[in-house]
Amino acid sequence: MPTSRSRRYRSLGTRAVPYAAIAPAAVLFAAFFATPIGFAIYMSLRGVHVKGLGLDPHARVEKWVGTRNYSQALGDSELWHGVLRTLAYGAFLLPVMLGLALLFALLLDSARARLTRFARLAIFLPYAVPVVIASLLWGFLYLPTVSPFQPLFHFLGVPMPDVLSNSTILFSVANVGIWGGTGYNMIVIYTSLTALPADVYEAAKLDGCSEIALAVRVKIPMVAPALVLTGLFSIIATLQVFSEPTTLMPITKTISSTWTPLMKIYNDAFGRNDLYEAAAEAVVVAVMMLVLSFSLLRVVNKRAFGDN
């Protein structure tokens, strides 16, 4: 018969199993997520005080400055111009990218679809191309001097349009994101479509639903959770746009080093060597992203699933 002490140890070991299972994830979360966030907040509340002429290395002293960096960040017009530019970028990219992803998923799920495996691979393949490589490829296509489309426009007798001008640069950068992100979102939505019960389709067809009516009235409402998921992830990725404009920046004068908020933060941290203000800007942008993401998620959930 087990003693009371052995039963107590066994019970303690049983209760410790879940904590042991999540310990690796908790350690990684603390080391690579929570700690950097905490350090960024700490840095945002610090600053450098220079004594005298600042020629002596010891004359630069780090000290507590409170919310001074946040005041400077919130009053920086370049940061807010980048925020507005990013919102305009997202307002164009998100509907087009998610609309194409939904359209492709519905077409692949259609009963008349052919070569679906090849089509899925072809649509998803751009997502496998790294963002920097994709931006370079599109940059060469945009430049009239090296673009393979230049001979075609020359043959037609018209100049190749400058898609890197001030009026079109936003759409040119968004095009890179649309090209790379549509396939991933399509796979998520298509997987959700294939998981729907076949009885629902059969019942709708018996009621006389056409393919278009079946897609609009049955399929789209039933994959609303997948649409919410892809929309939320796309919003977060859009607000963090950095690689595409940074890669295209050397080939055009219309993209500055502060074109997006993340580019502004990077430039302040490593261009101006002001890590403290950059940390405050990073915290401000993170809070805005958090508020916007959860606000949109709440609104979409209410419209998709109703108030519960």
CATH class for the domain made up of 76-305: mainly alpha
Q: How many residues does the chain have?
A: 308
Instruction: Give the start-to-end residue ranges of the domains of the chain.
Output: 76-305
Per-residue 3-state assignment (H helix, E strand, C coil) for the chain: CCCHHHHHHHHHHHHHHHHHHHHHHHHHHHHHHHHHHHHHHHHHCEEEEECCCCCCHHHEEEEECCCHHHHHHHCCHHHHHHHHHHHHHHHHHHHHHHHHHHHHHHHHCCCCCCCHHHHHHHHHHHHHCCHHHHHHHHHHHHCCCCCCCHHHHHHHCCCCCCCCCCCCHHHHHHHHHHHHHHHHHHHHHHHHHHCCCHHHHHHHHHCCCCHHHHHHHHHHHHCHHHHHHHHHHHHHHHHCCCHHHHHHHHHCCCCCCCCCHHHHHHHHHHHCCCHHHHHHHHHHHHHHHHHHHHHHHHHHHHHHHCCC
pLDDT tens, per residue, the chain with 308 residues: 455 655 555 665 667 777 778 888 888 888 888 888 899 899 899 887 766 555 555 666 778 888 899 999 899 899 999 999 999 999 999 999 999 999 999 888 877 777 888 888 899 999 999 999 999 999 999 988 888 888 888 888 888 888 888 889 999 999 999 999 999 999 999 988 888 777 777 777 777 777 777 777 778 888 888 888 888 888 888 888 999 999 999 988 899 999 999 999 999 988 888 888 999 999 999 898 888 878 877 776 666 555 54
The type of residue at 13 is G
Model's pTM, two decimal places?
0.82
